Amino acid sequence: EDKVVQSPLSLVVHEGDTVTLNCSYEVTNFRSLLWYKQEKKAPTFLFMLTSSGIEKKSGRLSSILDKKELFSILNITATQTGDSAIYLCAVPNNAGNMLTFGGGTRLMVKP
Amino acid sequence: NAGVMQNPRHLVRRRGQEARLRCSPMKGHSHVYWYRQLPEEGLKFMVYLQKENIIDESGMPKERFSAEFPKEGPSILRIQQVVRGDSAAYFCASSSQSTGAPEKLFFGSGTQLSVL
């Protein structure tokens, strides 16, 4: 059974801080790893990672994958209050159509 | 192009009642997935449907839960004789293809079910 574990469970920082969120996984047949941001509504897609060592970047957010050690990190620099959300990590099954999610990291950014 | 539409946004039921949750996929999408999110937890897969077919229901509880995606109309997740433990957010997602593109899965805003 595929498994995804995220840490920390929750995090409180101040605006301007940099945060690192962790995701470790165990899958039968690795295809990709996805990051989502969930505010009080639908999870929205951030990144999909398939190759080790290649950083994906979008503004102040970046993510990298280590397929040897089976983990990924999501970095957010110069955090803003709008970054407050639950960040979810997920891996698809072999068919690529069903996601196993981690428990999420709840990030709160204080002004 | 409207996204994945779920209704109602909030649903309150008393123990023993039935809950019906609806999901209209994005236009052009014929693959629908239901996920459940318990408080303080990640999303858990429940069921994957295509039009008139259940493809994978490995995440569905064996009793009281059923899902359908008829030829016409939205997908329905039905929970009979609800219990307090069914209280959760239920998310629907849709995609236009069955495999190989999880990044093209789009989620609805969810239905928050509260069982009194």
pLDDT of residue A8: 96
Chain A residues within an 8 Å CB radius of B105? 45, 99
The token pair at B2 is 């409207």
pLDDT digits (tens, 9 = 90+) for A12-56: 999 999 999 999 999 988 889 999 999 877 899 999 999 888 889
What digits encode the pLDDT tens for the residues B59-109? 999 899 999 999 999 999 999 999 999 999 999 999 887 666 777 889 999
Bridge-based pairing of strands B75-79 and A99-101 is unpaired
CB contacts, 8 Å: B4 with chain A? 42
Per residue in B33-54, pLDDT tens?
999 998 878 899 999 999 889 9
Are B98 and A101 inside 8 Å of each other by CB? no
Nearest to A21 by CA among A72, A82, A92, A97: A72
- B-contacting residues of A 53-82, CB under 8 Å? none
Q: Residues for chain B: how many in total? A: 116
The whole-number pLDDT of residue A66 equals 93
* 3-state percent helix, strand, coil for chain B, nearest multiple of 5: 5, 50, 45
